[in-house]
Amino acid sequence: MGIYDYTVTDNKGRAVSLDAFAGKVLLIVNTATGCGFTPQYKGLQQLYETFSGRGGERRFEILDFPCNQFGGQAPGTDEEIERFCIVKYHTTFPRFAKIEVNGDNASPLYTYLKSQQKGVLTPDIKWNFTKFLVDQHGNVTARFAPTEKPEALAQEIEKLLETP
């Protein structure tokens, strides 16, 4: 099973097959609105503006998955989270329904991502704003810790967009 075989729920409650993103470079992030890393939304939006329209059919997308598992730092409804991100950080990239990334109720997508790129000591996600980079063929190519700022990923994204 590959990344394009998964279906997720967007923040409006609609099922979205990830095969809709085939051929695109993806940055998949578990986020939170009340975290010390929340200002990374600004950097994520800058990446999105820089790369989303580039590369013809190899466009870049950020897939935002709010998660309340770490310190209860994403307590709002999907609608409240959407409003916060748009008003405070002017985000325009796709946002999905709140999920869990670890444990028995972990999203199958995140179980897959973790199996493809393990963390330093454990495959589990350690905190909000862990980032997974996926190439246009659906390969999970990298995993970045929450402390890795979005702007530091620009070179990796650029390389993937330039690779056929």
Contacts of 13 (CB under 8 A, 6+ apart): 78, 97
Residue 149 banded pLDDT, cuts 50, 70, 90: very high
**Residue 157: per-residue pLDDT:** 94
35 part of the active site: yes
Residue 155 has pLDDT above 90, yes or no: yes
> What pLDDT is stored for residue 53 in this prediction?
74
Per-residue pLDDT tens digits for 116-125: 988 777 789 9
Closest alpha carbon to 91 in 125, 59, 66? 66
**Catalytic residue (choose from 8, 27, 32, 35):** 35
pTM metric for this prediction: 0.94
Q: Among the CATH numbers 1.20.272.10, 3.40.30.10, 3.40.50.300, 3.40.190.10, which is that of 3-162?
A: 3.40.30.10
**DSSP secondary structure letter of residue 107:** -
C-alpha to C-alpha distance for 86 and 108, rounded to whole angstroms: 27
Other CB atoms closer than 10 Å to residue 51's CB: what's the count? 22
pLDDT at 47 exceeding the cut of 90: yes
Mean pLDDT for all residues in the chain: 92
Q: Per the structure block, which two tokens stand in for 66?
A: 């709010």
**CA atoms of 40 and 145, how far apart (whole Å):** 12
The region of weakest confidence among 70-74, 81-85, 131-135 is 70-74
Tens-place pLDDT, residues 105-148? 999 999 999 999 887 777 899 999 999 999 999 999 999 999 99
Nearest residue to 59 via CA among 93, 29, 95: 93
